[in-house]
Amino acid sequence: MCGIAGIFRLTGSVSAEDIGAVLRMMDAQVHRGPDDWGLLVPEVASADSEVRLLLEHLDPDHIRTYAAVPGAPPVVLCSRRLSIIDRSPRGRMPMGGDDGRRWVAHNGEIYNHRELRAELGGAATFRSATDTEVLLRGWDAWGDGVAERLRGMFAFALFEASPRPRLLLGRDRFGIKPLYSYEDRTRVVFASEIRAVVTSGLVPDETSPEALGRFLELGSVPAPLTTVKDVRALPAGHVAHVDADGLRLTRYWSLDAAVEAARPPSPPSRAEAVASTRALLDETVGLHLVSDAPLGVFLSGGVDSAGLVALAVAGRERPLTTLTVAFDEAELSEARYARLVADRYGTDHREIVVRSGSVFDELPRFFAAMDQPTVDGLNTWCVSRAAREAGLSVVLSGLGGDEVFWGYCHLRSVAALAGARRVMAALPRPARRGLARLAAACAGLGRPGLDRAAYLEAPSAAGVYLLIRGLFTEVQARGLLGLEAGGLGNARAALPPEAAHGLREALTRFDISHYLGNQLLRDTDVMSMAHSVETRVPYLDHRLVQHVLALPASMKLDGARPKPLLLDALADRLPRAVWDRPKMGFTFPMDRWMRARAGDLRALCLESKRLERRSVEDVWDAFARRRAHWSRPWALVTLARFEAARRGRVAA
């Protein structure tokens, strides 16, 4: 797990300015890799006196050089390393091949690296036990299609110095690991974090109003947008080819295509589906447990994390470390269920009691770590801090279990949602608009969220999804930002196209691409890496995902139990009390905590230069009258604090 950064010059040669920019990006990501670092520069750069002076202040053991082609575009590449697999200096990046022609900087984990190493056999001579070297040797053997062979979470930069200098940037199938880029006429700048790209000093730090509007509508910024106008996220499941002609994207994996390819010719029996799912679960959890650094599990007390513990303890000689967040508000805490699992499997269990005072004291550091605004992430920040304090460098998370095994309540309510969609579709647009206004009025009378019915004026699957997952409506978002009509575009465009499958499948695709990809995974990466902790998500092994999603709906819903396929695959390994109860989710008692501090939080929002005062007052008034969910005023707090933290970084 690491942070990577670099510059590909489209014109001109590498200068001290370029190397200085890359070093600043590396320093901005020290939390992503506190154990080691490395820098790759062209040999000819040292002929420049300013470059030579800059490099003289660095440890030469951490500097690598390559022979640049005269007159061709050069590269500067760097990496910060959190050492997990082969923690020796042999794993230092950027890592080069024997002839110094090809190099790699890599962030993440390739879980099938041993399998790939065996496949390469005698075709490659390895100098380390790292997965990074397998990626480099695999590029030699399999070319630019190497990403398709990887099983894991990753973002990488593969550089070929000659005969024609080029970069291959890649990101894993679900976007578990981040990568951002900026391109102008002279350079392509890239890094693992947006703040690092901006810290380079080569990128105009201009805020994107569209990204802020999407955040207010969706609760997070949808890729490829970022809050910096011209910085883009590399989309999940894509590689980017960079050469003298610039950056070009290519998709190497599609969820819909992968699920269709995995669909069996004839439906399996339930026993067959359970057995094949269990085999994949055993395999993926086993792969995710490989680590040369201390490892544990986030145990919330729900089915997903409890299932990971049940699978992970098999065959272990030492007790597994588990961590749980608990609250004084017992009715909102899952700690008692986590203890049931920990006791059953004899784990080294750590329970972290989180109170509002300590959480709110942490807010300045939390917002300073935030790379993009989000209404989530505070829970991950707190539990990741606890993991680091417990001496862990790696933790397993149950993230993705709800999306893959259909754990969300709205997937059980599809019939009602589909009916509402059909009714709205049958009405003329003026009638739909009237109903939406009536729903908004009901929201004002104490039914929070009904104002999002405005999204059903265009009754598509995306509209249904925004009814479920949306935060503010487009009109409300524009009012909060003081923008005219049309100033934000259309939130539906931020969701993937509606494919030719049913509403339940469409909602699942939206949950995976947006809620999981743009919010949960991004927040987990940023907030865990802020504490130098690597979070692994076994339920998002792509072979497991496409297998489960290809199974008939009847295998994943039975009307009686949550996630029945997962429960059957676990074969009664969980205490009944863990799953036979209402779903809670891993969240804090934010409503209660925010009401106790409402005056200070409201004042903070009103100080924002970004938000319109009257609209801010309306949101807080609705919250005070219990006519708005806490996530709405919290989004305003987030935006105000994020902007303040960003201004502070720029001023520094």
CATH number of the domain that 204 lies in?
Answer: 3.60.20.10
Q: Which two tokens stand for residue 362?
A: 């942490």
Domain end marker among 460, 482, 507: 507
Contact 37, 76 (CB under 8 A): no
Contact 296, 387 (CB under 8 A): yes
452 vs 473: CA distance, rounded Å: 6
Residue 192 belongs to a domain = yes
- Phi first, then psi, for residue 163 (nearest 5°) are -80, -20
- Strand, coil or helix: what is 18? helix
7 vs 200: CA distance, rounded Å: 10
Amino acid at 138: G
Domain end marker among 224, 253, 282: 253
Q: Are residues 562 and 619 in the same domain?
A: no
DSSP 596-637: HTHHHHHHHHHT-SSS-HHHHHHHHHHHHTT-S-THHHHHHH
Q: Are residues 489 and 535 in the same domain?
A: no
Domain containing 286 — which CATH number?
3.40.50.620
pLDDT number for residue 35:
93
In the chain, the N- to C-terminal Cα span, in Å, equals 28
- Tell me which residue range forms the domain holding 333: 257-409+517-597
Q: Are residues 200 and 346 in the same domain?
A: no
579 vs 446: CA distance, rounded Å: 31
The series of mean pLDDT values per 10 residues for the chain, 652 residues long, is 93 94 97 96 86 89 93 94 90 92 96 95 84 96 96 98 96 98 97 97 94 95 96 98 97 96 93 97 96 92 93 88 85 83 94 89 93 94 93 96 94 86 82 75 62 78 88 92 75 62 88 96 97 97 98 90 94 85 74 95 95 96 93 97 74 44
Q: Are residues 359 and 420 in the same domain?
A: no
Phi-psi group of 648: left, alpha or beta (phi > 0 → left; psi -120 to 50 → alpha; rest → beta): alpha
Residue 299 belongs to a domain = yes
Q: Are residues 29 and 91 in the same domain?
A: yes
What does the longest C-alpha to C-alpha distance in the chain come to?
A: 73
140 vs 134: CA distance, rounded Å: 10
Residue 214 belongs to a domain = yes
Q: Which residues of 339-353 are buried (b: 16+ CB within 10 A; e: fewer)?
A: bbbbebbebebbbbe
243 vs 364: CA distance, rounded Å: 40
pLDDT number for residue 460:
83
Q: Are residues 403 and 415 in the same domain?
A: no
Residue 224: is the preceding peptide bond cis (ω within 30°)?
yes
Domain end marker among 204, 233, 253: 253
Residue 371 belongs to a domain = yes
Q: Are residues 232 and 328 in the same domain?
A: no
Residue 503 belongs to a domain = yes
- Phi first, then psi, for residue 291 (nearest 5°) are -165, 140
Residue 512 belongs to a domain = no
Domain total in the chain: 4
Q: Are residues 214 and 296 in the same domain?
A: no
Q: Are residues 320 and 199 in the same domain?
A: no
Residue 650 belongs to a domain = yes
pLDDT number for residue 652:
43
Measured over the CA atoms of residue 49, residue 55, residue 61 and residue 65, the dihedral's sign is negative
Q: Are residues 97 and 142 in the same domain?
A: yes
pLDDT number for residue 394:
96
Q: Are residues 591 and 606 in the same domain?
A: no
Residue 635 belongs to a domain = yes
Q: Are residues 426 and 438 in the same domain?
A: yes
Q: pTM for the complete prediction? A: 0.94
Least Cα distance to 591 among 605, 582, 601, 606 occurs for: 601
